[in-house]
Chain A
């Protein structure tokens, strides 16, 4: 890989059978410019993440990462695990028959580290994510927030440059969600990871985003700096965001 020039999606199209899911989508993400992808359900947000990750090839267009072409029309040029990308899935995709530690070590073992090294790295990342005490538990024996941390630990243990988050916070209570989001942003800043987040939640968006893309029926209808879009956009999604944020600001102050 060349030096960190960012990620570029150029005129990408993706179809399932006769249905166009992504239609001529183009955008770029500069290093450490956390980006949020917004849009109604079924508009192609998750497909966009999968195409970027290299799980699907686009039907047209190309994707470059740090100046290297990784996908072009109907072709995966660089395999997903060689793209320096990690993905946290909406359902977290934790392998339920393995322990928390097992989930991490299996991913590390793919990198041909020595057994001792694998264990050490796995324990380090669990420590960093605050879940070392859960190492020998099965994912089903942990809480929703802890499972989210396990998924995050599994994603960052390979030290990716890009972390794709596919609505991973849905279903979490407010306190856990914000704790986790703060930790992810801190971790990303510390490790120079660029986040691309798919969400419906305006507060999650404001938390992460420097840049925003609004997707509608497979097309990018607006993009730019998140704060600019929030101030000026007439897109129904941004209007709703704005009104919700204003309502929150109108709330009376609470004494501790």
Chain B
């Protein structure tokens, strides 16, 4: 667990500035925004208490809000997604399995289940975020386009990140 905590802290310190400085500026066609920092919510162990996982997710969202001048937007979405994370996970993985120290990834869950879980989290997060933002300028067509394009873009980058983190190690 200590090893995971150190690894998670390092990922946090790397991904939040990377999201603010790099990924927030990689917008495609003015609609597709990649939110790679969602990896921080996805990889939290399923057996970790919901309270701790919500606090960690809230912290990630709040820090990103400071960087992006979007007070409360990411913090609220992170809290909501983190709250719904465990039930979403059990849509694709049986309750009966031994989940001690289980951190969702394509290796632990299998490709198909992980892709479904990841895409559900991504679509839920982006739908919430763009709906909150749509209170200012509402355009249903633009809202749907932004959710679909950003979800696809984020999904590809998150899958690439997962593959990178699971590089085969030499014996």
A pairs with B? no
Q: Which A residues fall within an 8 A CB radius of B?
A: none
Chain B positions near chain A (C-beta within 8 angstroms) = none
